């Protein structure tokens, strides 16, 4: 099982284990590359939308592109949420930290707006 799949770092810590430092996730390079590629594409789409507005492109066409960007951002959010639930949440519940459930619910509500 890879580090990404187990949700643990090379030294065995959980991906979001904080200790004395701020919590951090520890994604594999492959996962970061996947997210980075998607975010770069979204960034390009946003620049394209800005150009469409500057060129006075028909509003419906701009709105269609905005919907595509929102869907792409939602996809990135779902990927991150899935990884978070499979690693950080499971590990924190296993350690007896049930407050993480409230934290997760807040996050899910933000994503669903």
SS3 55: coil
Q: Which of 50, 11, 4 is nearest to 27 (CA)?
A: 4
Q: Do the Cβ atoms of 21 and 99 come closer than 8 Å? A: no
More confident residue, 23 or 109: 109
Q: In the 8-state DSSP scheme, what is residue 12?
A: S
pTM (predicted TM-score): 0.73
Average pLDDT over residues 1-10: 44
Residues 62 and 44: their CA atoms lie apart, in Å, by: 14
Q: Based on the structure, what is the number of domains in the chain? A: 1
Q: Is residue 18 part of a domain?
A: no
Structural domain harbouring 97? 27-112
Mean pLDDT taken over the chain: 85
* CATH code: domain of residue 68: 1.20.58.1000
Angle between helices 59-84 and 99-112 (to 10 degrees): 170
């Amino acid at each position: 099982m890879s580090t990404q799949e187990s949700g643990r770092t090379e030294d065995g810590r959980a991906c979001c284990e904080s200790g004395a430092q701020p919590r951090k996730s520890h994604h594999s390079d492959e996962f970061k590359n996947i997210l980075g590629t998607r975010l770069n594409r979204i960034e390009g789409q946003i620049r394209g939308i800005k150009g469409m507005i500057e060129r006075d492109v028909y509003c419906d066409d701009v709105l269609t592109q905005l919907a595509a960007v929102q869907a792409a951002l939602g996809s990135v959010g779902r990927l991150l949420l899935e990884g978070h639930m499979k690693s950080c949440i499971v590990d924190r519940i296993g350690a007896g930290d049930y407050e993480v459930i409230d934290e997760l619910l807040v996050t899910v509500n933000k994503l669903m707006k």
